[in-house]
Amino acid sequence: MNNHKLNVLITRPEKAGRELQTCLEKQGYRSYCQPFFDYQNAASLEQLHILQKQLIRPIIIFISVAAVEFAHKLMPIPSWSAQAVIAVGSATQQALTRLGIKAMVPDKHDSDGVLALLPLLSVKDKSVIIVRGDGGRELIADALRLRGAAVHYLESYRRVWRNYPQKFIKTWHQQEINCILITSNALLEFIVNLINDEDRYWQEQCLWIVASQRIADNAKKMGIVRVINANGANTTAIISALDCGVNLATTSEINRI
């Protein structure tokens, strides 16, 4: 039963999307799971070995749960040498905790929050490994290089985008979708490109819940009117943002980012 009159489109990959869908149903939200991409292994064990030989006790930053899971498949993360381990968000921290890794997480789950963490304030002549997917955020690396760090990437996975015909968007109207969840800029850009030739409902009337201020700003630039920043991609943050979307009475209030 839909207690909130929000019909939510979940755009995460299949496994994570189904898990979130189950949680939303328990909270009375009607949702549809529509993955737009899948994950594949990207890095090789040889790449990881080379980094480990080159770097002595680096600071390691994990960008996402998928980054943790695919890196762990290469080599169990507890065996990695590290001065400190940092997770961008709480879900990523929890994934590391399940592996027995104690990771720091910022209060603000974005690049600025990560850069404000104590181990990253003084990194001159230190090594940092950023474990991410293909083509992830550059802001953290650029800022750390300006602080004097030697930054290396380990792209443990890649996104494989699904090929949907544009007419597929019409089914969202049939399902009465009025809220879309977005957890990355790459996902935002892909979906906006897909809906560009459709009617303006999606940009002007649909509510978009996004995971960070950076995504929210980008959504505004793309012409999306109703945006709520959940300040995180974990289930608690998403449900809180959905509750906010239900409770806000006017478009101007929902328009905040």
DSSP string, 6-21: -EEEE-S-HHHHHHHH
Rg (alpha carbons) of the chain, rounded to whole number: 19
DSSP H or E segment with residue 193? helix 185-195
Task: Give the 3-state secondary structure percentages of the chain, helix then strand then coil, rounded to 5.
Answer: 45, 20, 35
SS3 20: helix
Residue 198 has what pLDDT?
A: 67
Q: Is 208 within 8 Å of 228 (Cβ atoms)?
A: yes
Half-sphere exposure of 159 (CA within 13 A, CB side): 20
Domains and CATH numbers, the chain: 7-36+162-254 (3.40.50.10090), 40-160 (3.40.50.10090)
For the chain, list residues with pLDDT below 50. Answer: 1, 249-257
pTM metric for this prediction: 0.83
The number of beta carbons lying within 10 Å of the beta carbon of residue 63 is 25
**Cα(132)–Cα(142) distance, rounded to whole angstroms?**
15
pLDDT at 167: 78
Give the model's pLDDT for residue 117: 96
Element (H, E) at 156: strand 150-161
Question: Which of 56, 80, 70 lies closest to 13, judged by CA?
Answer: 70
Q: Give per-residue pLDDT as tens, 130-147.
A: 999 987 668 999 999 999
